[in-house]
């Protein structure tokens, strides 16, 4: 196990009490929630690892910034303060705030989908991105490298594009039918894995040769920049902010759920490098979907907190602690033999449940089974990132089979201690030790889109066939 993990570069000024329930209580609570962790009440969760989106703790400077919030409907001072920070970090000409990442997607992706039968290509589309691609009338294709699917083998940048696959898709579909290339950094569904600068440069070169715009899905762009500094030759002495700027130089559009590397509870970003026509069309679309372009679904105080959080997230000492805390949890699980995506990603530890529960078919959702058992064991809420999340083929309506059946243990920022990481590890290991007892699940209600959020389930006896 790695020694000398980075200490927290902060001290605690306020605490929030959390309730500990019994196993018997949790069995009832989970059943009442339709065996879907999303439907649990937060007061019934001891350690909440459902997401790192908007669940982190803000700094004293962010709380102070709230008091500056200008709540004017149009032309808010808070907007101009945030605009200045976004332009300084990205170097892009145009900026619009939105309420969160999916707000950015619903504004921009339809504007890029100019006709029926178009495609977006990504290293890996995350769930909401894939949904917004399909809502825009396009189709999503993933082209991540094969090393991503070998969870036990080290590769410094498992989030990378497979460049040959990328070129092949463009040839087969025709460059005129590619609405955009989406660089997801870090690559969430691949296990929070980073993308190298070398790979992004190669993708940029391919995109330019085919006249295809590049969109950065950059909810965790600062963490990706940290991994580049740590692992990629030639970047060890480069500031995080400068690595981020080099990244932005390789794209045309930046979409961000600022609830991650913006260190806020609500917020998102659309930034466009220099395409004035696209900016104007998105700006027009903003009004009915997100609100007036200088508030975009956010209050002034939200925007001021974000303007501070964006800068704090680029601080090296913060990022070092952030990534090390996640790695500490991952190392404990690796020591116990739990199969996790290795190396450990930036925001979460991903458990590969195809190896944990090979007796559960993909369409009985082995990762959901592990997730539910983890809640019963320790009151810990995690999330399934596998075939349940992937959903159904939009054309055939058949269940899609994910390459990996993952449980994501997502660590909120500046929220839990290393002792909490030990509690999580202890509970995961106990569930892993009785993994042969895990049972599959079937739907009692299946939501037609993004089904993992609102569907309900019941357990299946392990000998029963669907």
Q: Which of 319, 444, 421, 452 is nearest to 32 (CA)?
A: 444
Q: Catalytic: which of 125, 259, 420, 452? A: 452
Q: How many CA atoms lie within 13 A of 351 on its CB side?
A: 31
274 in catalytic set? no
Strand 94-98 vs strand 268-272: parallel, antiparallel, or unpaired?
antiparallel
Q: Catalytic: which of 99, 125, 132, 260? A: 260
- Residue 33: its H or E element: none
Beta carbons within 8 Å of 228's beta carbon, 6+ residues apart? 194, 196, 197, 235, 243
Distance between CA atoms of residues 37 and 441, nearest Å: 13
What are the DSSP calls for 57-81, one per residue?
A: PPPHHHHHHHTT----SSS-HHHHH
217 in catalytic set? yes
Place of tokens 């917020």: 267
Strand 406-410 vs strand 383-385: parallel, antiparallel, or unpaired?
antiparallel
79 in catalytic set? no
For the chain, report the end-to-end CA distance as a whole number of angstroms: 42
46 in catalytic set? no
Do the beta carbons of residue 38 and residue 452 sit within 8 Å? yes
Q: Catalytic: which of 7, 64, 73, 453? A: 73
Q: Computed from CA positions of residues 200, 234, 86, 265, in that sequence, does the dihedral angle turn out positive or negative? A: positive
Q: Catalytic: which of 65, 138, 219, 357? A: 219
Q: Catalytic: which of 127, 162, 252, 331? A: 127
Q: Calculate the alpha carbon distances from 101 to 93, 95, 290 in Å.
A: 20, 14, 11
Tokens of 152: 């036990």
Q: Catalytic: which of 217, 252, 302, 331? A: 217
Angle between helices 240-248 and 77-90 (to 10 degrees): 90
452 in catalytic set? yes
Q: Catalytic: which of 94, 95, 120, 126? A: 126
Q: Calculate the alpha carbon distances from 365 to 25, 291, 352 in Å.
A: 24, 38, 12
Secondary structure class of 464 (helix, strand, coil):
coil
347 in catalytic set? no
Tokens of 338: 């739990």
Q: Which of 129, 90, 89 is nearest to 112 (CA)?
A: 129
439 in catalytic set? no
What are the DSSP calls for 419-459, one per residue?
A: HHHHHHHHHHHHHHHTGGG---EEEEE--SSSHHHH-EEEE
Which residues are annotated as catalytic? 73, 126-127, 217, 219, 260, 452
């Amino acid at each position: 196990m790695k020694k000398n993990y980075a200490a927290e570069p902060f001290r605690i000024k306020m605490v929030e009490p959390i309730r500990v329930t019994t196993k018997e209580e949790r069995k009832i609570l989970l059943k009442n929630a339709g065996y879907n962790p999303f439907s649990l009440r937060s007061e019934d969760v001891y350690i909440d690892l459902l997401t790192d989106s908007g669940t982190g703790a803000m700094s004293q400077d962010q709380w102070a910034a709230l008091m500056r919030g200008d709540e004017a409907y149009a032309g808010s001072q808070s907007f101009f303060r945030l605009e200045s920070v976004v332009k300084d970090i990205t170097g892009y000409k145009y900026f619009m705030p939105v309420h969160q990442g999916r707000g950015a997607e619903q504004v921009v992706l339809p504007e890029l989908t100019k006709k029926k039968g178009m495609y977006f290509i990504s290293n890996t589309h995350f769930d909401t991105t894939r949904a917004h691609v399909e809502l825009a009338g396009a189709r999503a294709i993933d082209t991540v490298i094969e090393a991503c699917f070998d969870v036990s083998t080290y590769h410094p940048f498992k989030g990378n594009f497979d460049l040959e696959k990328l070129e092949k898709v463009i040839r087969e579909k025709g460059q005129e039918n590619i609405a955009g290339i989406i660089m997801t950094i870090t690559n969430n569904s691949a296990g929070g894995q980073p993308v190298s600068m070398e790979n992004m440069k190669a993708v940029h070169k391919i995109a330019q040769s085919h006249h295809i715009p590049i969109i950065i899905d950059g909810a965790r762009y600062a963490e990706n920049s940290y991994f580049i500094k740590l692992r990629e030759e030639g970047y060890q002495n480069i500031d995080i902010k400068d690595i981020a700027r080099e990244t932005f130089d390789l794209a045309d559009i930046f979409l961000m759920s600022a609830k991650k590397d913006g260190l806020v509870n609500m917020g998102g970003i659309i930034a466009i490098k220099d395409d004035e026509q696209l900016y104007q069309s998105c700006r027009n679309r903003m009004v009915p979907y997100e609100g007036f372009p200088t508030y975009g679904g956010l209050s002034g105080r939200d925007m001021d907190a974000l303007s501070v959080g964006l800068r704090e997230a680029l601080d090296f000492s913060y990022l070092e602690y952030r990534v090390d805390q996640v790695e500490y949890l991952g190392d404990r699980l690796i020591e116990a033999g739990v199969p996790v995506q290795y190396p450990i990603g930036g925001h979460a530890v991903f458990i590969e449940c195809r190896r944990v529960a090979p007796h559960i078919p993909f369409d009985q959702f082995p990762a959901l089974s592990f997730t539910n058992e983890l809640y019963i064991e320790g009151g810990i809420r995690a999330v399934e990132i596998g075939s349940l999340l992937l959903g159904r083929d939009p054309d055939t309506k058949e269940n899609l089979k994910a390459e990996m059946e993952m449980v994501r243990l997502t660590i909120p920022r500046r929220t839990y201690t290393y002792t909490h990481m030990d509690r999580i590890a202890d509970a995961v290991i106990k569930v892993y030790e009785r993994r042969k007892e895990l049972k599959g699940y079937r739907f009692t209600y299946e939501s037609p889109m993004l089904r993992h959020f609102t569907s309900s389930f019941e357990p299946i006896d392990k000998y029963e066939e669907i």
